[in-house]
A and B are shown apart, each in its own frame.
Chain A
Amino acid sequence: MRFKEKVIHSFFFLNGVLVVIILLGIFALLVFTSIPAFKEIRLSQFFFSGIWNPDAYVKPAYGIVSMLVSTFLITFGSLVIAIPLGIGTAAYLSDLASPRVREIAKPIVEILAGIPSVVIGFLGIVVVGPVIAKIFGLHNGLNALNGSVLLAIMALPTIISLSEDALKSVPKSFEQASLALGATHWQTLIKVKIPAAFSGIIAACMLGMGRAVGETMTVLMATGCAPAMPQSFLDSVRTFSSTIAIELGEVPYNTTHYYALFAVGLVLFIITFMINMASDIILHQYRKVTK
């Protein structure tokens, strides 16, 4: 019996460690495959030039600035749309909705998370794009705004369900105290419950952001993928992830271009890692507070 328990114990230990090993493995792979890129590309060019054109007719250029700006542009746009909407929905679900509405609405929100990104990208081409073009009087709707709207849709389920959890775990006594002091339902929600659940909500938003930064297919389909530096939300953009997706399929192995794509991947990995790490730290802080 003792022996059996030990075996089971070490089995689960290995499972736990495996994830860490995989993460470190991916990181090491990205780092080691990126390094050779910088034999030919100057670091200053890579990080400060806005022109990315590896299959150039004359002289290849490897600069990530416009991709960096593009990625942050659509991520920022998606958060501007998704955060108010997500928190509003979460507040409604946790405070106002009758149990029956909640029973129907919550699973629907979760189904939204399961829609494949290709399908959302397709929606961007046939629905969101033409609508944007009409509203802004443009000739076409393949631009950063389109990407932002779609990424907002994809980030919403994460933001809604985590924010709702945060709101729900605010102790009942807070609410009762507020109501007993004569505050209205609205005042209680805005001035008591949301501030109390604030760090949980922030963590939810950051996880939603993490999803948006790395999303590939949707952006690839709906943003037009022009590599020029975007001037506004109505310009076509090309993100880190779509560049990798487009170019990695045909790039000859072990060339500068190949290594440069891994370097782009490394930058993307570091960005998403930092976002997830930050949200994790905030979430921990918040758990400590509520306990």
Chain B
Amino acid sequence: MKRYLIVWAIICVLLNVTGNLMAQEMVQIKGSDTLINLVQKLTEVYMEQNPGELFAITGGGSGTGIAALINKKCDIANASRLMKAKEVARAAEKGVQAKRVVIAMDGLSVITNGGNLVDKLTLDKIGKIFRGEITNWKDVGGTDMPITLYGRQSNSGTFVFFRDAVLKGDYSQKMRRMNGNAQIVEAVKEDISGIGYVGVGYVKGAAGIELNVLKVAARAGADYASPLNASEVKSGKYPISRPLNQYLNGSPTGMVKDFIAFELSEQGQEIIEQEGFFPIPDAYIEFNTNSVGI
């Protein structure tokens, strides 16, 4: 009998503890692999300043994050692409009013191995390489070796953005589908014949030594610009710069609102720069004010 009582006591305590944990509000953030490290860093600093507020951040890709937002499984969806019209419609069907906030700028970087001679390409050539129309480095000014393509999987916002903005067609079936930005960086570091695309925050530290971060020109004859140069990304001279977004369900309140305000504050934008991305230009500051009032 006594033993039963003890077991009961333990069960009750456990239920109580888990109950309390569940009751404590935790902001769920989910989505883009490009944004995950950055947002992780932002929440860490924010939680230090606001003890007691809890955030849980998971990746999975922009598509996964947006799907979670639509299914009300997260509070903030990180997305390195815009929501598709279909997704907006499905969200509306489920009563989710998706609001977009732009928190940082990314110069989507095309990278090659540090031992590769090619250090700049036009947008058109990059498209041809990833569509599988150019398959040897010698056709773009490199040595005679086959090109190995590294890209993302289809749940990635970067996969979709790069396809729509640069390829305007389908990826080569031979492109290796990697599991995240970090894996592409690691693979290209190892592979002299490799080429890949990642968020600029992921080339920090390796650029110039193990990796070439390619200078890109919008068309033949135009100036080449580097994604590592903040002003060229901000001004749009670098042709594949893009906003990094967060989607919310309706206008934010409470913890979510405070956190978004922190991200957009001077301190938040400084952290974004430390992480290798770029602060948002005035046009997007205005956009955010119109969208969510922050």
Contact = CB atoms under 8 A, between A and B. Distances in A.
6 contacts: A56-B170, A139-B191, A226-B174, A236-B176, A246-B155, A249-B63
A139 B194 contact: yes
Contact of A252 (B61, B87, B179, B187): B87
B67 A238 contact: no
B246 interface: no
Interface residues of B, number: 37
Contact of B170 (A53, A140, A221, A250): A53
B291 interface: no
B192 interface: yes
A225 B194 CA distance: 15
B153 A246 contact: yes
B177 A249 contact: no
Interface string B179-195: 10001001100111110
Contact of B175 (A58, A226, A247): A226
The 10 closest A-B pairs by CB, nearest first: A250-B63, A228-B173, A224-B176, A225-B177, A250-B155, A139-B193, A140-B191, A139-B191, A228-B174, A55-B154
B154 A247 contact: yes
Interface residues on A, range: 20 to 34
A12 interface: no
Given A139-B192, A249-B63, 13 more contacts: A53-B170, A55-B154, A57-B170, A58-B170, A140-B194, A224-B178, A225-B153, A225-B177, A226-B173, A246-B154, A247-B155, A250-B61, A252-B86
B60 interface: yes
Contacts of A247: 153-155
Interface stretch (B161-169, B198-206, B272-280): B161-169
A268 interface: no
A139 B192 CA distance: 6
Contact of B177 (A56, A57, A224): A224
A16 to B, nearest CB: 29
B154 A140 contact: no
B177 A246 contact: yes
A154 to B, nearest CB: 19
A249 B155 contact: yes
B122 interface: no
A226 B176 contact: yes
Given A57-B163, A250-B67, A236 B170 contact: no
B169 A236 contact: no
Contacts of B169: 57-58
Interface of A is mostly: loop
Given A57-B169, A57-B170, A140-B191, A249 B60 contact: yes
Nearest to A221: B179
Nearest to B155: A250
B148 A140 contact: yes
A252 B64 CA distance: 10
Contacts of A250: 60-61, 63-64, 66-67, 154-155
Contacts of B160: 55
Contacts of A236: 174, 176
Contacts of A139: 145, 148, 191-194
A252 B71 CA distance: 11
B181 to A, nearest CB: 15
Nearest to B160: A55
Best-buried of B90, B145, B148, B193 by chain A (most CB within 10 Å): B148
Nearest to A130: B190
A142 B176 contact: yes
Contacts of A221: 179
Contact of B67 (A57, A58, A228, A252): A252
Interface string A238-262: 1000000011011010000000000
Contacts of A252: 67, 86-87, 90
A221 B168 CA distance: 28
